[in-house]
Structure 1
Amino acid sequence: MKLFMIPILASFTFGAVAAELPRTPEGKPDLQGIWTNATQTPLERPERFGERQAMSEEEAIELQQRALAAEERGNAPSDPDRPPPSDGNTAAAYNLFWLDRGSQVLHIDGEYRTSMIIDPPDGQIPFREGAPEQNMMERWRDEHGDEAFLGPEMATIGERCLLFYDFRTSNSSAGPPMMPIIYNNNYQIIQTEDYVVIMAEMMHDARIIRLNDEHQPPEIYKWMGDSTGYWDNDTLVISTRHLHPQQSHYGSGPGLEVTERLRMVSETEIVYSFTMNDPVAYTAPWTAEMVLYARPEGERIYEYACHEGNYALPGILAGTRRQEQADADPE
């Protein structure tokens, strides 16, 4: 069993923390480095916690122990003589060595969090009942059927290696919001007086945040949206609008506005929060918090090779074109 640590509440004052933070020559907190947001804490609150935002230390220890035990079991050598999965699931081909779900429970402002969502109090996304489908990819699927996705234009953004996006959970590592996924949960932050760049390990997506600038016109949209930022004392506040129409997070649409806050609390932790505001998708804006943990000194992010050496998508497309040709000319 691996050793683990439950965070101890700090006894020093906020002023002392602020004074000890690493800072840039301009006096701003120095966010530069490599961070991870892997955690056992889910986005939405499990039903058993009700409206409890925090769990006890004993509950947190138990959850972390279960996560570590599962990791130990998953890392055991695979039996080469084992039978194939009885449920037909071949997607879980990796053992846990290759995954990166983390084992820590979020510990923020002295609380072991039961969910990332802190507002509304029930820890759930306040979806608007009867809201229209705003995900362009889903609308295309409804309009054209699954066969349309056998062409390169309709393949999902993940299949095209443009951005990582999990259609089952609406999670995106590059964001915004920047959510933990099954692996590659590392980020590199580069910071100057006028820009902050956040590079996500998954598919090496880099988001350039202009500081103290206006948003571009709504006609200009791009992957990960148009992000501007400013410093509110020692907190970096980022506003993002005009996400690409093929991006949808938790039912959001073109009117989504995401406000992120990065609050450095120590050399090794940044409290990252985000607020999702889309009146079409939600009955009210909702807010979540998580922690970015500094990776050990000396670690680096390697380039994520997505399509390099990948013959699956070209094979699928080529096979479909061949089938189309055969159907058009049966002789």
Structure 2
Amino acid sequence: MNLRQVSLAAVAIALACSGASVAHAQAAAQTGARVEVHNLKPAKESDKVAAGYVAPRLAIGQPDLSGVWSNASNTRMTRPAKFKALVLNDADAEEARKNDPSNIRQATDDNQKTDDGLLDGKDLAAGRGYNSFWIDPGSNLANVKGTWRTSWIVDPPSGQVPFTEAGRKLASAGRGGYLSRGTGYDNPEERAAGERCIVGFGGTGGPPMMNVLYNNNYQIMQAKDHVVIVVEMNHDARIIPLNAKHRPAALNPYLGDSIGWWEGDTLVVETININPMGGGQVQLTPKGKVIEKFTRYSDTQVLYEFEIHDRELYSQVWKGEVGLNRVNDNVYEYACHEGNYGLHGILEGGRAADRSGRSIQEKGDRDEG
């Protein structure tokens, strides 16, 4: 199936989804809108829904997960060393917000300093590709089930990825080590998929679906036999058949082969055969899998849980919890610039090096997005 056929299939399923909008996603960074973090009622760790909350249901009988949601926040996969616990109280969470580097950058970048709103360009002299006007990572730690979280990982309690020696070796090679081929300058296929604007960089499409600098929005649409998750960056559509069988192992899409089913009011999704060139934050061997769970926690949040299973790379099954917060906006097209001009410039630089007889040694991460 070619890309056009895949796109048409996604549109057809989306149109069939009950109560779904067919509008595409737009980044908060593009609109200037900010995702609200609601102070939800604190819950016990075992709670999957807020106290007394009953999820609305669609006409087809399923709990309603539909709509636009965001995981934008200053929380990331692993816990920074400065935090000793998974959960912070309100005062400590506010202190973390004030001292977060991205928030400081928002307040001090040159786009905040000029009376007429015009940039003076001083930020870019330091070598940054973007100033803070173009990013929207979120302004608070994640609020998951009413508690401020310092990491998405909840198990192991350390908030760190439990690598085996093989897993640590793969991770230490860096994203550039396993997402690219050759020198990185000879042809487009040597560049990472995120950089080529095929999938979102940083694992936005997952699984698991992680937050990055911007474009952290997701639109969920439901039908009787399918769930579709439209990932804002890079406009990927995860088409998840319900109560189905996995496809042959020879098929390994960028975001993997996903099937789903309902366990009570929780949507469970199992994904295998994830293509490593998809650029997710979690590496897996061909025997690995990801389990995701979606539960409507309240009117303003979907609890998104994930489990990583891979005995070769990880010493245990490890788990995370993410809060997907309601966004009262549409999601529009994500248009990727790097795949147009940036990629051409990289390859042209390689040809210039060839003409001059200089060798090129790639350094750093090739999947900057």
Q: Does 1:58 align with 2:91?
A: yes
One-letter amino acid matched to 2:343: L
Cα distance change on mapping 1:84 and 1:244 into 2, 3 Å: closer
Larger Rg: 1
Cα distance change on mapping 1:60 and 1:323 into 2, 3 Å: closer
Q: Compute the displacement of 1:32 (Å).
A: 1.2
Matches within 5 A, 1:142-157: 145-146=182-183, 148-157=184-193
Cα distance change on mapping 1:176 and 1:323 into 2, 3 Å: same
- d(CA) in 2 for partners of 1:138 and 1:112? 34
CA contact (8 A) 1:258 1:277 kept: yes
- d(CA) in 2 for partners of 1:255 and 1:309? 32
Look up the SS of the partner of 1:203 in the other structure. coil
Cα distance change on mapping 1:103 and 1:249 into 2, 3 Å: closer
- d(CA) in 2 for partners of 1:111 and 1:322? 53
Q: Does 1:41 align with 2:80?
A: no
- 2:228 is aligned to 197
Q: How many aligned residue pairs are there? A: 307
One-letter amino acid matched to 1:259: I
Q: Compute the displacement of 1:321 (Å).
A: 4.7
CA contact (8 A) 2:79 2:159 kept: yes
Cα distance change on mapping 1:29 and 1:73 into 2, 3 Å: farther
Look up the SS of the partner of 2:324 in the other structure. strand
One-letter amino acid matched to 1:249: Q
Cα distance change on mapping 1:70 and 1:277 into 2, 3 Å: same
Among candidates 29, 39, 49, match of residue 63 of structure 2: 29
Q: Compute the displacement of 1:177 (Å).
A: 0.8
One-letter amino acid matched to 2:247: Q
TM-score (ref. length: structure 2): 0.74
TM-score (ref. length: structure 1): 0.82
- 1:303 is aligned to 333
Cα distance change on mapping 1:110 and 1:323 into 2, 3 Å: closer
- 2:214 is aligned to 183
Among candidates 284, 287, 292, match of residue 316 of structure 2: 284
Q: Compute the displacement of 1:312 (Å).
A: 2.7
Among candidates 219, 225, 229, match of residue 250 of structure 2: 219
Runs of at least 5 residues in structure 1 that lack an aligned partner in the other structure? 166-170
- Aligned-residue Cα RMSD (Å) equals 3.0
- d(CA) in 2 for partners of 1:197 and 1:160? 24
- 1:168 is aligned to none
Runs of at least 5 residues in structure 2 that lack an aligned partner in the other structure? 1-33, 44-48, 358-369
- d(CA) in 2 for partners of 1:45 and 1:140? 25
CA contact (8 A) 1:245 1:254 kept: no
Look up the SS of the partner of 1:246 in the other structure. helix
- d(CA) in 2 for partners of 1:195 and 1:307? 32
Matches within 5 A, 1:39-188: 39-50=73-84, 52-67=85-100, 70-74=105-109, 76-77=112-113, 80=120, 82=122, 85=125, 89-95=126-132, 97-131=133-167, 133=170, 138=177, 145-146=182-183, 148-165=184-201, 171-188=202-219
Percent sequence identity over matched residues?
Answer: 36
Higher RCO structure, 1 or 2 (CA under 8 Å, sep 6+): 2
